[in-house]
Structure formats: structure tokens, C-alpha cells
Chain A
Amino acid sequence: GAGVSQTPSNKVTEKGKYVELRCDPISGHTALYWYRQSLGQGPEFLIYFQGTGAADDSGLPNDRFFAVRPEGSVSTLKIQRTERGDSAVYLCASSEGREQPQHFGDGTRLSIL
């Protein structure tokens, strides 16, 4: 399909484990965003990439969270030493550039037991 693809769609893991969440943006989109949506809340900004570099990582909650986009396309969000409070839906979005509409994937539902 031509949309933003996120894998896995669901991830269940134990507290303390390491997880990686993957995002394949729409082809040609230079901007990529990660958001986190907790139950009953709207999506909350985590980090924004323009090309390969993180242009704004002000939303990452702490240093257990890290994201990369080495070739300016696929991005991986990495969470170390997971905690129960990390349980949420992690959403990825991409756009053609600044001030263009962001197109969201269906998210990865992360559950930390």
C-alpha cells in the first residue's frame, strides 16, 4: 500500500525488556514523526525527523527512548528497560515537508506486563 506502515501492529513484552518499533513512511516523504497515544488521551509528540537528522526530540520522555532514521526513510523507535507506564499506542506519521499534512500509520500497540 501507499500509506505509512508500522510494524509490529501489537507488541507484548515484560517489564525491563528492550523493544524496537518500526515505521515505513510514505515514499518520498522527507519528514517523519513519532507520537504516543495513551488511553483516553490524544496523540502526544515524541520526535520529528527531517531527512536523517532529528530536528526536534523535545517530546522524548527520558533517555530510555531513542529513535533513528539512518537513511532518511525507515525509522526505528527504541525503548530500553521498558516500564509499565510505557504501554500505549505508538504512532508514526510522515509528510512531504514542513507545513504539509501529516499522514499517520495505524500504530503499534505496546503492552508492558
Chain B
Amino acid sequence: DQQVKQNSPSLSVQEGRISILNCDYTNSMFDYFLWYKKYPAEGPTFLISISSIKDKNEDGRFTVFLNKSAKHLSLHIVPSQPGDSAVYFCAATLVKTDKIIFGKGTRLHILP
């Protein structure tokens, strides 16, 4: 069963607009959530994270929102740039473990 779900396989956004990537999870024992970005033929790159005790974390153009009651998080990228075109993985870690559980990813296309 998929504990971290990214239901949109792909998303296209106009350059300069806001990109919103969504993620749902099922395990209430997750204590840390992360977003990774992946270009073809490269490994995933850590982007931003949020602790389960927070509801928002911002880093430059990237903001992650966490809604624990809905078991939902989202990544906002504003403004979107051509270099943001990549696959974005939502991920989570369980209390007292270090293994990351990844979603299937969402491919983001930034249109000129």
C-alpha cells in the first residue's frame, strides 16, 4: 500500500506563475516531511522539509504547507522558472527511523 501518495503524475505551469504540487499520506506516525527534486539521470536533490509540529516552512521561492488533520501537504513554487522543470518527490520519515518513504513523483513542466 502506498503510504505517500502523489495523485498527479504531471503538471504544466506557465513560467512566472505559481506551481502547486500536492501530496497525501496515510500514516499518522510520520514526523518529518520532505520534498526532493530530480532531473533525468541524476539523483534526487533535497529541496525543503517540514516537521510535523509546524504547518508552514518557507525557503526563497519554495514554501511547504502541512495540514495534519487532512494528512495533506503541498509545495508551492513562486514564481515558477524554466529550471524548475523536473520530477518532484514528496517523502516522509517515521518517528525514530531514518528511512525515507517516497511518493511516485509528479513531473512538473514549466511552459515558456
Contacts and interface: CB of A to CB of B under 8 A. Distances in A.
- A associates with B: yes
Interface residues of A, number: 27
B99 A31 contact: no
A91 interface: yes
Contacts of A33: 98-100
A98 B101 CA distance: 15
* Interface-central residue, A31, A43, A101, A103, by most chain B CB under 10 Å: A43
Given A33-B98, A48-B98, A103 B46 contact: yes
A93 B42 CA distance: 12
A42 B104 contact: yes
A56 B97 contact: yes
Contact of A40 (B89, B97, B99, B104): B104
A41 to B, nearest CB: 6
Interface of A: 4, 31, 33, 35, 40-45, 48, 55-56, 58-59, 91, 93, 95, 98-99, 101-107
What 10 A-B pairs have minimum CB-CB distances, sorted nearest first?
A42-B102, A104-B43, A45-B99, A101-B46, A106-B43, A104-B44, A43-B102, A105-B43, A42-B104, A106-B42
Interface of B: 4, 32, 34, 36, 41-46, 49, 89, 91, 97-105
30 contacts: A31-B98, A33-B100, A35-B100, A35-B102, A40-B104, A41-B104, A42-B4, A42-B91, A42-B102, A42-B103, A43-B44, A43-B89, A43-B100, A44-B102, A45-B101, A48-B99, A56-B97, A56-B99, A58-B99, A91-B43, A93-B43, A101-B46, A101-B49, A102-B46, A102-B100, A103-B46, A104-B43, A104-B44, A106-B41, A106-B43
